[in-house]
């Protein structure tokens, strides 16, 4: 029993520590055994997909080299003599397997046969067998290929060796780039496997495969390696949205410490004014968290919507370009003269050369028809009619990109070729994909008669498009006709950085992309994570806009089906890399949220110091009274309603300014209004006058004109420091004026108690809600919007100032793809309110945790001079492409505002009741308490901003009407001392000390009797001592508080209605226990340490810090920024929690 009892007691004692350890262990376990392995699998799958693309490129590269015959080869093999011949063509090119040579020096050495087909018997008789079956050797340089691949992928190491008997022959390896000898040995050992490989003590991670050399029985082993550091960074990389969300959860977890204390704390734990202000500030920070995350989401939606417009324009430009080209090429062939020759020709080869007439410009080029070969004189088309050339005038530019018209027979042989190039020797193209598809009767139960596809030349990194179809007039003969051309839109389009396009077929194969250097042979379905939108698109469902992760990069996509009528659809994908938007989100969150946090702390500090200056000479600098004006006051219903209107107007005004002004103007205006609201609220709720409406209007007018407008005007003329000076000079002057309100207000304070009509919880909570809403919802909204507008404007400004845009602008505006719908060719959208100098305060507000996203992109631009135009403002958050989206966004923003307002209201209402005891305040107002009144209770209405007559009334009097205290030695009363002080040399604070010291000395015995009458064996004395410190006590001690009210020891203030000790002197007596009764104080402190909250606080901090450390580890490349941001958040919140640990004096 003893052992089990000891274990049970130990378990109870360390319950929270055990729970904390379990939570951290679960986080670690989840990371090590789920997140990390899952990320490794995803990263490996991505790299394997890239390797597969490299393999396909390599195979096609080798096959192209086998089929390629250079001009020098043509001459050396004597093939040039057959160019343009209608009777000779290349039938096949075959690899001579018997003469296969070893792979060495990074080169594949092959032997091939070029077999000719000769239909003319006369010509055939003149040729030898060697002339028809030509033997040739070729060298395929793989180093050149791998150099290109290395520059466009993360692979930095390559190893290639020949395969014999299924394993790598190390003695014949011929390419080893950035591979150590130890890694080579390991790769050779595991050459039968595909990896991934992570060898011991290796700094690389390898992926490998065996590749069969086309048209041979030989294979090579290809291994590609990526740096382990890059791999580890990738698998630990956290998505930007997840990183932001995780940081917000940590913030909420830390804020939860303040939220849970009034709820879970034991009755022995103490609550103070610090906890109340901490809860109020935490509510504000929580709202700032929601606003920051929500506004980021809204702005990202707005930016993506603008990107969709850009990508839609891009896709339509590409579509119209294709349509114009094909229509022009098709209509040209319907020319009556050409159509007659085309249909009447019986020869298998009909050649006409189409060439540009020299000496023409790109805007007025002409096309002519010229004989191609002297062998075909009778079939030559002659034209000298001007109309035949004029008919091509508008489309003459398109003919610069036309390569040929052609016909193929059923064997893939070119039977007719109308080409713009010098005649070449004819060849069979039976291996081409388009020919094979058209040759089939049906494909997947779909009849294919028309087809559009692309062919890529690796020699010059250019695309050739083939528009092929079965000849409807010659279906029975199976002849295919087509047009070969090069697209021209890629030369004319001007794209912002991160913007591109792809053309894919229905299987997801990439036919073309704007950067030919990238891996071509990639399948979007295989190279990206499973994307239902992409699958739906390729299945025929019209899905225009979606997001897609491709090769580890997230893209925004706008998809459009090519309008050219083909039986196998082609899809145009306008794509925009979302990396810039992710950087913008992270940059804006890190700056926006932290600046909002610092701004909230600044408002807290400025409120404190304004109050300290307002009460200078009357209250201590460290007095708890400096936040009393923010506590409920039963006589302030009128002020609360008026201040609610003022704060609501400030909210509306700040939002309007954000929409119509430049980012810097909106930001500065919001701060100015916020600081002026602090002053207006502080003075209004600290003075009592007979005409509060007039005084409030005067204060509002002075603050708006001299505290807001005048500093704003100074700032707009680049006088920021003068604006700050003007602001604080104005506020100092206003505070100095209102400090003397009690001397000007002759009305006795007792007359104001008639305004006390009971608890005004709703009016008070609404006012405080509006104040928190401005500082912690409107300010983050204005700030985050300012950052977005500023960064996007700068990005558009760089793009629109670039040289390529200026050149394109002179030629054709439609070819410029906008940067986030910022149109470079229209007049700039100047804000209504704009600074008259460099508008860079938002840039200077950057906390420097991250580089500015716009500056990150500046390396992509070249310009001579930078313009200073504006291309968008904060209205971009609600502007959309259609009315329905606009209504949805505005409605959702309005609903969000209502939700935040309701959340603040109900949180304030809930927590304020736990601190102020509204029910007991109302009961005291209804005269239910006290049941009996203490003789020394002082009902005088005391407020710190008092005149000398008010101070005299602090003198205590008992039932036997004690006289005014007299200094027996000098025979002088305190009243006489005060009356003779004509120069007011004795400060109000010192006068109060005289009286309070006298009261403590004169009535010490009576006060001790009251104290001794309280029971020692329960919490009554502890609760009273806790309440005396700052008039706050734990809500769970409510019954004890009621007992003290029944005894008259605690009553309510006649003006504010808040609970207080029966007299100020008795309160000072109770607080003196901290010096006179050390045992009581020690017991009081010890008892406060062992509550539920004290046990929960440290585990919550440990979990929060552990989660922050885990984020830093997961995001190693952003270690510094996560550490600084997380540390700043934790430090600021901790600093605020300690800020109000003030002296317990008045």
Alpha-carbon gap, residue 594 to 288, rounded angstroms:
10
Q: How far is CA 788 from CA 295, 303, 795, 877, in A?
A: 10, 9, 11, 10
The residue from 208, 236, 264 where one domain ends is 236
- The answer on pLDDT for 578 being more than 80 is yes
Strand, coil or helix: what is 827? coil
pLDDT at 889: 82
Lowest mean pLDDT among 630-639, 792-801, 1067-1076: 1067-1076
Confidence of residue 678 (pLDDT cuts 50, 70, 90): very high
Q: Residue 1022's closest CA among 1065, 1092, 1081?
A: 1081
Alpha-carbon gap, residue 607 to 434, rounded angstroms:
77
Strand locations in 987-1141, DSSP E?
Answer: 1050-1052, 1059-1061
Sign of CA dihedral 1107, 1110, 1115, 1119: positive
CB of 407 within 8 A of CB of 471?
yes
Alpha-carbon gap, residue 856 to 795, rounded angstroms:
10
Q: Would you say residue 298 lies in a domain? A: no
Provide DSSP, 913-976.
HHHH-HHHHHHHHTT---SS--TT-------SS--HHHHHTTS---TT-PPPPEETTTTEEHHH
Same domain for 44 and 175, yes or no, is: yes
Confidence of residue 1110 (pLDDT cuts 50, 70, 90): low
Q: Residue 676's closest CA among 701, 642, 713, 652?
A: 701
**Number of C-beta neighbours around residue 308 at 10 A:** 21
Q: What share of the chain is helix, strand, coil (3-state, %, to 5)?
A: 55, 15, 30
- The answer on pLDDT for 728 being more than 90 is yes
Domain that holds residue 60: 13-66+146-236
- Helix then strand count (H, E) for the chain reads 42, 25
- The answer on pLDDT for 566 being more than 80 is yes
Same domain for 931 and 1065, yes or no, is: yes
Q: Would you say residue 683 lies in a domain? A: no
pLDDT at 472: 64
Same domain for 232 and 365, yes or no, is: no
Reported as a single tens digit per residue, the pLDDT across 54-67 is 887 788 788 888 88
Kind and range of the H or E element at 1117? none
Confidence of residue 348 (pLDDT cuts 50, 70, 90): very low
Reported as a single tens digit per residue, the pLDDT across 80-129 is 888 878 888 888 888 877 665 556 667 888 888 888 888 888 888 888 88
Within 408-481, residue ranges assigned H as helices are 433-439
Please give the distance of CA 774 from its chain centroid, rounded to a whole number.
23
Reported as a single tens digit per residue, the pLDDT across 743-798 is 776 666 777 888 888 889 999 999 999 999 999 999 999 999 999 988 888 888 88
Q: Would you say residue 46 lies in a domain? A: yes
Mean pLDDT of 335-343: 49
Confidence of residue 351 (pLDDT cuts 50, 70, 90): very low
Reported as a single tens digit per residue, the pLDDT across 894-949 is 899 999 999 999 999 999 999 999 999 998 888 887 655 566 565 555 555 455 45
Output Rg (C-alpha) for the chain, integer angstroms.
42
Q: Residue 288's closest CA among 590, 600, 584, 648?
A: 600
Give the DSSP letter of residue 628: G
Alpha-carbon gap, residue 1031 to 1028, rounded angstroms:
6
Could you give the percent of the chain with pLDDT greater than 90? 14
CB of 849 within 8 A of CB of 595?
no
**Position of tokens 């659809």?**
569
**Position of tokens 């130990």?**
10
**Position of tokens 């891996």?**
519
pLDDT at 384: 42
Lowest mean pLDDT among 499-503, 628-632, 641-645, 883-887: 883-887
- The answer on pLDDT for 294 being more than 80 is yes
- The answer on pLDDT for 379 being more than 50 is no
**Position of tokens 């596809």?**
453
Strand, coil or helix: what is 865? coil
Lowest mean pLDDT among 275-279, 446-450, 971-975, 1074-1078: 971-975
Reported as a single tens digit per residue, the pLDDT across 220-264 is 888 889 988 888 877 777 667 777 777 777 777 777 788 888 888
How many domains does one find in the chain?
3
Strand locations in 126-249, DSSP E?
Answer: 133-141, 157-164, 167-168, 175-177, 204-212, 219-227
Q: Would you say residue 195 lies in a domain? A: yes
Q: Would you say residue 575 lies in a domain? A: no
Q: Would you say residue 1057 lies in a domain? A: yes
Same domain for 1078 and 935, yes or no, is: yes
Alpha-carbon gap, residue 670 to 663, rounded angstroms:
11
Cis peptide bond prior to 864, omega within 30° of 0: no
Has this prediction a pTM greater than 0.85? Answer: no
Lowest mean pLDDT among 10-14, 563-567, 612-616, 812-816: 10-14
Same domain for 227 and 361, yes or no, is: no
Confidence of residue 801 (pLDDT cuts 50, 70, 90): confident
pLDDT at 1112: 62
Q: What CATH number is associated with residue 368?
A: 3.30.450.20
pLDDT at 863: 65
Mean pLDDT of 561-585: 87
Confidence of residue 950 (pLDDT cuts 50, 70, 90): low
Same domain for 353 and 475, yes or no, is: yes
Q: Would you say residue 747 lies in a domain? A: no
Could you give the percent of the chain with pLDDT greater than 70? 75
Same domain for 184 and 62, yes or no, is: yes
- The answer on pLDDT for 349 being more than 50 is no
Alpha-carbon gap, residue 177 to 1022, rounded angstroms:
78
- The two structure tokens encoding residue 683: 């003075």
Q: Would you say residue 648 lies in a domain? A: no
Alpha-carbon gap, residue 207 to 890, rounded angstroms:
51
Alpha-carbon gap, residue 208 to 203, rounded angstroms:
16
The residue from 455, 487, 519 where one domain ends is 487
Same domain for 228 and 359, yes or no, is: no
Same domain for 220 and 359, yes or no, is: no
The residue from 487, 517, 548 where one domain ends is 487
Same domain for 357 and 221, yes or no, is: no
Give the DSSP letter of residue 523: B
- The answer on pLDDT for 594 being more than 70 is yes
pLDDT at 1089: 75
Alpha-carbon gap, residue 282 to 257, rounded angstroms:
9
Reported as a single tens digit per residue, the pLDDT across 856-905 is 777 766 666 677 777 777 778 877 666 777 788 888 888 999 999 999 99
Q: What CATH number is associated with residue 213?
A: 3.30.450
CB of 1045 within 8 A of CB of 1038?
no
Cis peptide bond prior to 196, omega within 30° of 0: yes
Q: How far apart are the first and last CA of the chain?
A: 55
Reported as a single tens digit per residue, the pLDDT across 980-1020 is 666 666 666 666 666 777 766 777 788 888 888 888 777 88
């Amino acid at each position: 029993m003893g052992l089990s009892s000891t274990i049970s007691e130990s378990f109870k004692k360390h319950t929270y520590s055990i729970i904390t350890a379990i939570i951290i262990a679960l986080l670690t376990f989840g990371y090590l055994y789920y997140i990390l392995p899952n990320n490794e699998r995803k990263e490996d799958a991505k790299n394997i997909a890239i390797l597969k693309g490299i393999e396909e490129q390599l195979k096609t590269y080798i096959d192209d080299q086998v089929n390629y015959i250079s001009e020098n080869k043509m001459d050396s093999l004597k093939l040039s003599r057959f160019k343009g011949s209608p009777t000779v063509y290349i039938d096949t090119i075959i690899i001579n397997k018997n003469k296969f040579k070893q792979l060495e020096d990074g080169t594949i050495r092959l032997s091939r046969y070029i077999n000719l087909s000769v239909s003319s018997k006369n010509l055939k008789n003149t040729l030898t067998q060697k002339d028809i079956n030509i033997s040739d050797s070729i060298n395929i340089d793989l180093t050149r290929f791998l150099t290109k691949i290395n520059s466009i992928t993360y692979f930095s190491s390559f190893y290639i060796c020949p395969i014999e008997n299924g394993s790598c022959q190390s003695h014949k390896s011929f390419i080893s780039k950035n591979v150590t000898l130890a890694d080579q040995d390991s790769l050779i050992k595991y050459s039968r496997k595909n990896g991934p490989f992570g060898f011991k003590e290796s700094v690389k991670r390898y992926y490998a495969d065996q590749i069969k050399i086309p048209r041979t029985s030989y294979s090579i082993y290809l291994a590609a390696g990526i740096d382990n550091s890059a791999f580890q960074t990738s698998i630990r990389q956290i998505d930007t949205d997840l990183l932001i969300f995780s940081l917000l959860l940590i913030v909420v977890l830390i804020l939860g410490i303040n939220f849970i204390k009034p709820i879970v704390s034991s009755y022995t734990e103490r609550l103070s004014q610090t906890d109340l202000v901490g809860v109020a500030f935490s509510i504000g920070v929580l709202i700032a968290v929601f606003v920051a995350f929500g506004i980021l989401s809204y702005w990202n939606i707005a930016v993506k919507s603008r990107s969709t417009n850009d990508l839609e324009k891009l896709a339509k430009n590409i579509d119209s370009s294709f349509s114009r080209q094909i229509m022009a090429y098709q209509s040209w062939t319907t020319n009556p003269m050409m159509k007659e020759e085309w249909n009447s020709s019986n020869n298998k080869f009909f050649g006409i050369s189409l060439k540009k007439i020299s000496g023409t410009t790109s805007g007025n080029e002409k096309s002519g028809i010229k004989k191609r070969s002297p062998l075909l004189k009778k079939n030559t088309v002659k034209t000298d009619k001007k109309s035949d050339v004029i008919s091509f005038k508008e489309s003459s530019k398109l003919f610069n990109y036309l390569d040929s018209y052609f016909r193929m027979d059923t064997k893939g042989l070119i039977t007719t070729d109308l080409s713009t190039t010098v005649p070449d020797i004819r060849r069979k193209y039976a291996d081409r994909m388009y020919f094979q598809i058209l040759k089939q009767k049906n494909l997947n139960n779909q009849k294919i008669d028309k087809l559009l596809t692309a062919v890529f030349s690796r020699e010059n990194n250019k695309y050739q498009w083939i528009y092929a179809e079965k000849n409807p007039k010659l279906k029975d003969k199976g002849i295919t006709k087509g047009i070969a051309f090069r697209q021209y839109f890629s030369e004319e389009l001007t794209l912002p950085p991160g913007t591109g396009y792809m053309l894919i077929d229905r299987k997801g194969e990439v036919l073309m992309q704007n950067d030919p250097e990238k891996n071509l042979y990639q399948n979007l379905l295989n190279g990206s994570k499973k994307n239902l939108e992409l699958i739906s698109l390729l299945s025929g469902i019209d899905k225009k806009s979606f997001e897609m992760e491709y090769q580890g990069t997230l893209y925004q996509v706008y998809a459009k089906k090519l309008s050219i009528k083909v039986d196998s659809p082609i899809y145009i994908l306008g794509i925009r890399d979302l990396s810039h938007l992710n950087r913008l989100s992270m940059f804006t969150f890190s700056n926006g949220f932290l600046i909002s946090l610092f701004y909230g702390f600044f408002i807290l500090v400025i409120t404190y110091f304004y109050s300290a200056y307002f009460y200078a000479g009357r209250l201590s600098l460290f007095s708890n009274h400096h936040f009393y004006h923010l506590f409920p006051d039963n006589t302030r219903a009128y002020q609360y309603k008026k201040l609610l209107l003022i704060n609501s107007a400030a909210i509306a005004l700040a939002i309007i300014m954000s929409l119509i002004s430049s980012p810097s103007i909106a930001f500065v205006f919001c701060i100015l209004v916020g600081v002026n609201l602090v002053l207006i609220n502080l003075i209004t709720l600290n003075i009592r006058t007979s005409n509060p409406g007039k005084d409030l209007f005067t204060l509002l007018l002075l603050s708006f004109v001299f505290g807001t407008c005048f500093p704003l005007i100074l700032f707009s003329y680049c006088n920021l420091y003068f604006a700050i000076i003007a602001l604080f000079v104005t506020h100092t002057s206003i505070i100095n004026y209102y400090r003397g309100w009690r001397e000007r207000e002759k009305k006795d304070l007792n007359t104001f108690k008639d305004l006390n009509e009971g608890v005004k919880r709703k009016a008070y909570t609404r006012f405080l809600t509006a104040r928190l809403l401005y500082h912690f919802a409107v300010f983050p909204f204005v700030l985050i919007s300012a950052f977005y507008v500023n960064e996007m404007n700068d990005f558009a400004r760089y793009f629109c100032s670039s040289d390529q845009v200026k050149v394109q602008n002179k030629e054709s505006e439609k070819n410029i793809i906008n940067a986030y719908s910022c149109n470079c060719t229209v007049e700039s959208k100047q804000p209504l309110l704009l600074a008259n100098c460099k508008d860079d305060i938002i840039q200077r507000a950057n906390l420097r945790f991250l580089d500015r996203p716009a500056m990150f992109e500046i390396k992509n631009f070249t310009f001579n001079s930078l313009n200073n135009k504006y291309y968008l403002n904060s209205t971009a958050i609600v502007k959309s492409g259609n009315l329905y989206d606009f209504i949805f966004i505005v409605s959702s923003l309005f609903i969000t505002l209502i939700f935040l307002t309701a959340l603040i209201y109900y949180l304030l209402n809930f927590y304020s009741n736990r601190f102020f005891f509204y029910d007991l305040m109302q009961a005291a107002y209804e005269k239910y308490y006290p049941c009996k009144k203490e003789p020394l209770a002082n009902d005088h209405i005391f407020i710190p901003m008092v005149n000398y007559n008010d101070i005299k009334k602090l003198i205590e009097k008992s039932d036997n009407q004690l006289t005014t205290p007299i200094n027996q030695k000098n025979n002088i009363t305190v009243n006489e001392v005060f009356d003779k002080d004509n120069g007011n040399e004795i400060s109000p604070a010192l006068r109060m000390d005289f009286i309070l010291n006298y009261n403590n000395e004169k009535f010490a015995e009576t006060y001790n009797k009251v104290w001794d009458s309280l029971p020692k064996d329960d919490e009554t004395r502890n609760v009273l001592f806790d309440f005396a410190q700052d008039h706050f006590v734990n809500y769970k001690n409510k019954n004890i508080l009621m007992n003290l009210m029944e005894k008259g020891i605690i009553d309510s203030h006649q003006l504010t209605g808040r609970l207080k000790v029966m007299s100020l002197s008795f309160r000072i007596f109770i607080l003196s226990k901290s010096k006179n009764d050390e045992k009581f104080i020690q017991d009081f402190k010890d008892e406060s340490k062992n509550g539920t909250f004290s046990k929960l606080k440290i585990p919550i901090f440990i979990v929060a810090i552990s989660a922050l450390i885990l984020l830093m580890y997961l995001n190693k490349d952003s270690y510094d920024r996560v550490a600084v941001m997380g540390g700043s958040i934790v430090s600021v919140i901790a600093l605020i929690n300690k800020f109000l640990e003030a002296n317990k004096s008045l």
